[in-house]
Chains A and B, each alone.
Chain A
Amino acid sequence: MPSLPQKLFAAALVLAAGGAVSVAPTPFTAPAMAQSSARNAGAEQFVQTQAQRALNILSQHQGDVATEKRLFRAFIDQVADVPRITYFVLGKYSRSIAPGQQHEFAAVFREYASNVYESRLNEYHGETLKVIGSVARSPTDVVVQSQVSGGKLDQPVTVSWRVIAEGGGWRVVDVQVDGVWLAITQQQDFVSTIDNAGGNIQVLIDQLKRQVAKDEQGAR
């Protein structure tokens, strides 16, 4: 049975299973907007298409690190709402961060998050994803449930995707495996780091920079 951290990183896997090519975000459907608590077909379709595509591309480019990296960055930009996630993971500090630091953090977080998820890429391949339902917080904020099976997984893993619609398309903001949300966990990690530095956000930024530099060195 998969354990807690395995599940946690299985979530990272699916997000990391990136590499979608240029795909326009799926428009959200008007009928779904009428009932906020009902399933949202547009959000489900978006997750089914993008996540399965990601898993397929992952298995196709296994071992080709440069291609994986390039496609993964493209996937993040096209499918995830990076500005929203960047703002969220700073928690209470997102309101007090100085504008200059904001840009500095956004740049290093993008690199850091991509590296973290990407480092899991090679552990997974050949999985199949099937959307099994969705619950809407609002017509534009939906949690889509999916089941990932096959590949190296002994048992199917339930993965949920939080997607938000803006500007006519859906974007992923968080991924959950068995109750553990990635962005929420990331926020608690970062806020704790800043808290322990007496509220100094620069300490987190510097730590992320060191981490990114180390990852780049390791990749070479």
Chain B
Amino acid sequence: MRSLLIGLASVVVALSPTVSALAATDAGVAVYDPWEKANRAFYKFNDGLDRVILRPAALGYKRVLPRPVRASVRNVINNINQPNVLVNDLLQGRVDRGGVSAFRFLINSTLGVAGVFEVAAPLGLPPHDADFGETLGRWGVPPGPFLYVPVFGPSDLRDGAGRIVDGYASILSLPDLHVTTWERIGFSVTDGVDTRLALDSTIEGIKRTATDPYATQRSAYLQYRQAMLTDSNSKKAVDQLPSFDAPPPGAH
């Protein structure tokens, strides 16, 4: 596993652009999308896939299962992912958050009946995200080129590599658990369908209102991931925001 991590990190670093190569936009947000043509093709493909399969599956899932059952399914998925969050908390040197993750897993796995019930949050242990793409970012690995991945949506080279590592690092990979390939596929499909459902109004909103939905998703994704790495409300981040100049007289 260690060699895999180092290998992936090296690939990301090698393929990542230097800071000077980043195309800073007017908004001061770096967008590096050298594979835009291919990415847009994947976006288009994904959009078709979404219309025909992904969204209907998500809406069907909503129709079949009542909200409390879906919430429990989501709790179980989050609980299975919790050890991976814990590992990434520690790899990032965030021991406090790691402690929260550890206690969340212990409490939700026991009192929460194998994660079916979210017991930890009301006890003052709220959930948080952590993944290997974020860990690489905190280690100084730049995001690299933007990627639009079929089925998964917006990403970048660093986060794409991180996603692969997270897949291997899941507790479902533990030999002692004897999880079959089909069970893992079932888990991933359920996770995907539930996530698509949670995003439904937003994805449809972007498609309906953005003049360039691809550029909108790209912008939102890159800002969101950047904010996970640096406190977006720090003085440094605030100082780097683009200026909102007053329009020249008579402009509007």
Contact = CB atoms under 8 A, between A and B. Distances in A.
B203 A189 contact: no
Nearest to A115: B209
A164 B244 CA distance: 9
Interface in B196-225: 198-199, 201-203, 205-206, 208-212, 214-216, 218-221, 223-225
A9 B232 contact: no
Interface in B215-252: 215-216, 218-221, 223-228, 232-235, 238-239, 241-247, 250-252
Contacts of A119: 205, 208-209
A103 B247 CA distance: 12
B191 interface: no
Interface residues of B, number: 53
A189 B233 contact: no
B251 A87 contact: yes
Contact of A173 (B78, B232, B244): B244
A87 B251 CA distance: 8
B31 interface: yes
B96 interface: no
Interface centre among B224, B225, B235 (most CB of A within 10 A): B224
Contact of B202 (A9, A136, A174): A9
Nearest to A171: B244
B244 A207 contact: no
B126 interface: yes
Interface string A43-71: 00000000000000000000000000000
A188 B215 contact: yes
Q: Give the size category of A's interface with B.
A: 35 or more
B27 A102 contact: no
A187 B27 contact: yes
Given A164-B244, A193-B211, A133 B227 contact: no
Interface in A170-184: 173-174, 176, 178-181, 183-184
Nearest to B121: A155
Contact of A190 (B195, B211, B225, B235): B211
A164 B121 CA distance: 37
B220 A8 contact: yes
A180 B252 contact: no
Contacts of B218: 188
Interface in B177-206: 195, 198-199, 201-203, 205-206
Contact of A187 (B26, B129, B203, B220): B26
A8 B244 contact: no
Nearest to B226: A179
Interface in B124-151: 126-127, 129
A115 B27 CA distance: 23
Contact of A5 (B26, B27, B220, B233): B220
Given A103-B252, A135-B235, 11 more contacts: A3-B198, A3-B202, A4-B224, A6-B198, A9-B205, A106-B252, A135-B234, A143-B238, A181-B223, A184-B223, A196-B212
Interface of B: 25-29, 31, 78, 121, 126-127, 129, 195, 198-199, 201-203, 205-206, 208-212, 214-216, 218-221, 223-228, 232-235, 238-239, 241-247, 250-252
